[in-house]
Structure 1
Amino acid sequence: MSYKEHTVTDKITEHSAPLGADPTGPEMFGHPKGLFYLFFAELWERFSFYGMRALLVLYMVNDLLFSDSTAFGIYAAYGALVYATPVIGGMLADKLLGYRKAIMLGAVLMAIGHFALAVQHPLFFYGALALIIVGNGFFKPNISTLVGTLYKQGDPRRDAGFTIFYMGINIGAMLAPLICGWLGVTYGWHYGFGAAGVGMLFGLIMFWNGARSGIFGEKGLPPNPEVVKEKVAGVSRGNWVVILTILTLPIFGILLFQGILDLPGLGATTFDGHLIDYAMYYALLPAIAIILFINLVRVDRVERQRLIVVILLTFFITVFWSFFEQAGSSLTLFAERNVNLTFLNAAQTNSINPFFIVLFALPFSAMWLFFSRMHMNPYTPVKFALGIAQLGLGFMIFAWSANFADADGKVSIWFLILGYLFITTGELFISPVGLSKVTELSPKKIVSFIMGIWFLSSSFAHHIAGIIAKLTSVSGSGDEEVSGMQSLLVYTSVFEQIGYVAFGFAVLALLLTPLMRKWMHGIH
């Protein structure tokens, strides 16, 4: 799962309670009881998110009759926006709403969005994606922040608590494609989307029940309740947030819809994505660069050099997710068209990565501790290089499978599983490690802003992933039917190029390692 959740990205807002604060409320299994309410709330939210994600491209191509290029474009725009909005949602929670209200608002919006996808109409389709994008902005950054408030600074249970929370994320991500994918393929797409909506509803109820029962104590409340209630033009500030949030929905719908030039019978001919390009490269990226430059000037030499290392790590994680996020788009269609799916359908193959995460997360954690005790733990830049190289190896395995295809251009599912195995081990080398080091390397007074940039790296990565995925497009260019062998060659040639480019970036990370080690100033 990407950031994951890419996803896996939930630990980036690992804020803590004030120094000396006591853990919240009663305990369960040696941890604050509130952790387990958040565990199940996040599990079900991730179930809904990844259940819908597993079906989305297949639904657009097979049911809405979009071309591959159009489906990849919409999927990329959706992924870019869904990882950009948490920056705004996190700021609103920090300054005004508090974590609880933000989480509830996000959960309600996402639940409505998932159920809206069960209605086959263009307005509902784009409106549903807009609801999920905006809802995720409120939910995603704040539930993991709330986990951090359950532990005081220096609490030795903290890492274990986040590991438990992290497992909930991946259990939800693993189960969702299996269940929603089975319902969508067997009974109809809308049953799969409906199941995702039910999952989000379960998450909403779980969180609401915990908040209602007082299990979180005083954690997650608005920083200044009076400011939330203060009226502007006769409406409280809290309600203005809700109103303005609803008013932004058409904007996100337009960003997704623009570029669809023809919709005869829900079919589409192309996706240009120019508004997304302008928003990201001519507005968002320059704004981030200016703010980063201002902060680089204001901090001392050690903080400046550490911040430059953070920027480099963010660059490499963006590269990693750009390739990794083929999982929900080109790799899903590759599985449907060119893999002998013996015990999984194409949507369900999205569960392979989180399955390996659940299987290997704890052994990897133990491995890093063992290497630390033995004074053999690789430096963070080396881990990044090894992680990107393993991802490249995974894509080379996908490409290599073409040598063993049958007459219909189909390969064994074991190539898909083996490739995902190396992609997942690469993820475990790079994602949790990078998140941990970014919190250590960032200047304390701007750590939240840097965490927001880390979220945005996934946003840019999804946009780039869409450009890469379009290179694999094999439908929508005309009436000529593409054979299985032709589509196999298209997919595997692109996967091979991804592998070589990934190896190149791995070498670059190794070459920069001595400089990055020096500028990390003692942080391993």
Structure 2
Amino acid sequence: MSNVISEVDQPQLFGHPKGLLYLFFAELWERFSFYGMRALLVLYMTKHLLYDDDIAFGVYAAYMSLVYVTPMIGGILADKILGYRKAIILGGILMVFGHFFLSIEMPVFFYGSLGLIIVGNGFFKPNISSFVGELYAQGDSRRDSGFTIFYLGINLGAAIAPLFCAWVAIKYGWHYGFVLAGIGMVAGLLVFRSGLKNNVFGNKGHVPNQQVYDTKSFGLNRGKLIVLVAIASVAVFATLVRFNEFEGYLVWIVSGFLVFYIGYILSKVTSKERKRLLVAVYFTILYTLFAAIFEQAGSSLTLFADRNVNLVGMDAAGTNSINAGFIILFAIPFSMLWTYLSRRKINPNSAVKFGLGLLFLGLGFIVFALSAHSVDDFAKTSMSYLVIGYMVLTVGELFLSPIGLSKMTELSPLKYVAFIMGVWFSANFYGHFFAGKIAKLTTVSDGSTNIFSEGIFGKITEYITGLTPQIASEQSDSFQQLFSYVSVYASFGVISVIVGIFAILISPIIKKMMVGIH
């Protein structure tokens, strides 16, 4: 699919392709559905289904990681057969059914719904992001700004959804909250269809090769066959979520596939493309660490807020909107900042931005850990630490995540853009897998402590929080749970800061490998 864009086949609006507006709102509503359901999921399992923390974290981590492994497959199928338009529509329809089926309280529907969303997201997520990149020519100075605006759409949906879906779930029942999330997905699909009808995308996103698409196997063309296989695969992914203790095997399978296919691409491209692709892999590795720490937001941080924070003005599910709320406040200023700095030729290169992203992420989690200094007699801390911590890590997210989306479309060989976008999202697969392991470190039973309570990390925890295992053991169970949370947050906060500084130090080497891409 060509990235060469002409002004003739694309109408412009506010200095950007008009298609960006439609993709912005389609993604906004899709993310409304996704984050609305995500905010409820762990609380639904622990409070309604009465799963213990270990089981809930296992299901949540498996679901959230698989949601981000299917984009690799969806990216390949869009690149080779479906095109962005058909892939996005197929993914959206599957996700609609997934959200609505969550309202039926039976195990087969619970896990089946998660399977539908996993498969649907694989077709929707990488291809709508790649579609944004398709709107801009290589080297277009508006690209980072456009992706930051697009990222604002993601977070508008993410900010609104936890508040609305949580309110509906509390007032009318959990299942109505899930239905509201499904309605958001329907709205996203309608917006995208409206963009297609109004022809705002010009000639972009069509089937890449109609002859390949029409080739028949088993009496069906490849397009219809993909639909049937996608539906059939729902049961496979539902089973993987149900038996999440075996997900480690899938991590090895995915890793083997990635090494093989990326190696294959490296053997087929030019020397310049090879260097750029290796940078894309490096950025993905950094993003994996970022996601493993950042994605405590939907699991352990939600329970931390529920159990150990004096919440004001919102419940624990609603705290999932804090990060997205700060994205809304900061996204446009950051977008303007990149444009301003580019004009003055002082815009930090992407390798530096990634380092800063990890640095601020770590500082945010250190702020969460510092909340131990404000603990009251009920083992609850001030909400101000939660809000400030989210604000700081949001700055880190804006340095890294939208810039990563933008760079993947630039660093990828043109024939493999959607697949490499899928590789980028695989960082979330690995990140959520490891995030589940991190979240389980915060569970407490019979006065036990985690590995971050002793040794060098124990000293780090004591220095940042003022707490030790001995102090915690003399207090209530709630206090011990608090110590479990803040010890993990302090330790991983410091790890993230150290890696961020290292990434900044080696950024000149990475910049050279990007061969002209900023």
Q: Same fold (TM over 0.5)?
A: yes
Shift of 1:154: 6.2
Match of 1:131 in 2: 116
Task: Kindly indicate whether residue 31 of structure 2 is the aligned counterpart of residue 43 of structure 1.
Answer: no
Shifted more, 362-371 versus 80-89: the winner is 362-371
Give the alignment partner of residue 350 of structure 1, picking from 310, 317, 320.
Answer: 320
Match of 2:251 in 1: 280
Task: Kindly indicate whether residue 487 of structure 2 is the aligned counterpart of residue 493 of structure 1.
Answer: yes
Match of 1:10 in 2: none
Task: Kindly indicate whether residue 9 of structure 2 is the aligned counterpart of residue 23 of structure 1.
Answer: yes
2:133–2:409 CA contact under 8 A, matched in 1: no
Match of 1:233 in 2: 218
2:161–2:321 CA contact under 8 A, matched in 1: yes
The separation in 1 between residues aligned to 2:74 and 2:345, in whole angstroms, is 41
Corresponding residue pairs, total:
492
Cα distance, 1:29–1:510 mapped onto 2, change above 3 Å = closer
Task: Kindly indicate whether residue 422 of structure 2 is the aligned counterpart of residue 422 of structure 1.
Answer: no
The separation in 1 between residues aligned to 2:166 and 2:374, in whole angstroms, is 27
Q: Deviations over 1:90-136 (max 9, x none)?
A: 22222222322222211111111101111111111100000000111
Shifted more, 64-73 versus 511-520: the winner is 511-520
1:83–1:458 CA contact under 8 A, matched in 2: yes
The separation in 2 between residues aligned to 1:472 and 1:435, in whole angstroms, is 31
The separation in 2 between residues aligned to 1:506 and 1:73, in whole angstroms, is 28
Q: 2:9 corresponds to which letter in structure 1?
A: P
Match of 1:144 in 2: 129
Task: Kindly indicate whether residue 421 of structure 2 is the aligned counterpart of residue 465 of structure 1.
Answer: no
Task: Kindly indicate whether residue 363 of structure 2 is the aligned counterpart of residue 393 of structure 1.
Answer: yes
Cα distance, 1:446–1:320 mapped onto 2, change above 3 Å = same
Shift of 1:152: 5.5
Q: How does 1:265-344 map to 2 (within 5 A)?
A: 273-274=245-246, 276-281=247-252, 283-296=253-266, 302-344=272-314
1:322–1:462 CA contact under 8 A, matched in 2: yes
Q: 2:278 corresponds to which letter in structure 1?
A: I
The separation in 2 between residues aligned to 1:382 and 1:409, in whole angstroms, is 39
The separation in 2 between residues aligned to 1:301 and 1:34, in whole angstroms, is 33
2:315 counterpart SS class = coil
Q: 1:112 corresponds to which letter in structure 2?
A: F
Give the alignment partner of residue 193 of structure 1, picking from 178, 181, 184.
Answer: 178
1:278 counterpart SS class = helix
Cα distance, 1:508–1:400 mapped onto 2, change above 3 Å = same
The separation in 1 between residues aligned to 2:482 and 2:7, in whole angstroms, is 58
Cα distance, 1:344–1:231 mapped onto 2, change above 3 Å = same
Match of 1:73 in 2: 58
Match of 1:264 in 2: none
The separation in 2 between residues aligned to 1:119 and 1:337, in whole angstroms, is 28
Q: 1:254 corresponds to which letter in structure 2?
A: T
Shift of 1:139: 1.3
Q: Deviations over 1:424-470 (max 9, x none)?
A: 00111122233334444445555444333212111111111111111
> Structure 2 unaligned runs (5+)?
449-474
Shift of 1:220: 2.9
Cα distance, 1:233–1:374 mapped onto 2, change above 3 Å = closer
1:98 counterpart SS class = helix
Shifted more, 433-442 versus 57-66: the winner is 433-442
Match of 2:452 in 1: none
Q: Deviations over 1:353-377 (max 9, x none)?
A: 1111111112223333444455543
The separation in 1 between residues aligned to 2:33 and 2:17, in whole angstroms, is 26
1:112–1:128 CA contact under 8 A, matched in 2: yes
Task: Kindly indicate whether residue 208 of structure 2 is the aligned counterpart of residue 223 of structure 1.
Answer: yes
1:220 counterpart SS class = coil
> Structure 1 unaligned runs (5+)?
1-14, 260-272
Cα distance, 1:153–1:22 mapped onto 2, change above 3 Å = farther
Cα distance, 1:383–1:235 mapped onto 2, change above 3 Å = closer
The separation in 2 between residues aligned to 1:130 and 1:490, in whole angstroms, is 32
Cα distance, 1:36–1:438 mapped onto 2, change above 3 Å = closer
Cα distance, 1:19–1:146 mapped onto 2, change above 3 Å = closer
Match of 1:516 in 2: 510
Question: Aligned Cα RMSD in Å?
Answer: 2.7
Q: Deviations over 1:377-431 (max 9, x none)?
A: 3343332222211111111111111111110011111110000011100111122
The separation in 2 between residues aligned to 1:522 and 1:220, in whole angstroms, is 27
- Aligned-pair identity in percent equals 53
2:138–2:410 CA contact under 8 A, matched in 1: no
Cα distance, 1:134–1:320 mapped onto 2, change above 3 Å = same
Q: How does 1:141-180 map to 2 (within 5 A)?
A: 141-150=126-135, 160-180=145-165
The separation in 2 between residues aligned to 1:509 and 1:156, in whole angstroms, is 24
The separation in 2 between residues aligned to 1:195 and 1:477, in whole angstroms, is 40
Q: How does 1:46-61 map to 2 (within 5 A)?
A: 46-61=31-46
1:474–1:482 CA contact under 8 A, matched in 2: no
The separation in 2 between residues aligned to 1:372 and 1:33, in whole angstroms, is 23
Q: What TM-score do you get using the length of structure 2 for normalisation?
A: 0.87
Cα distance, 1:44–1:93 mapped onto 2, change above 3 Å = same
2:115–2:237 CA contact under 8 A, matched in 1: yes
1:57–1:328 CA contact under 8 A, matched in 2: yes
The separation in 2 between residues aligned to 1:523 and 1:18, in whole angstroms, is 16
The separation in 1 between residues aligned to 2:199 and 2:516, in whole angstroms, is 42
The separation in 2 between residues aligned to 1:355 and 1:96, in whole angstroms, is 38
Shift of 1:290: 3.0
1:22 counterpart SS class = coil
The separation in 2 between residues aligned to 1:295 and 1:94, in whole angstroms, is 14
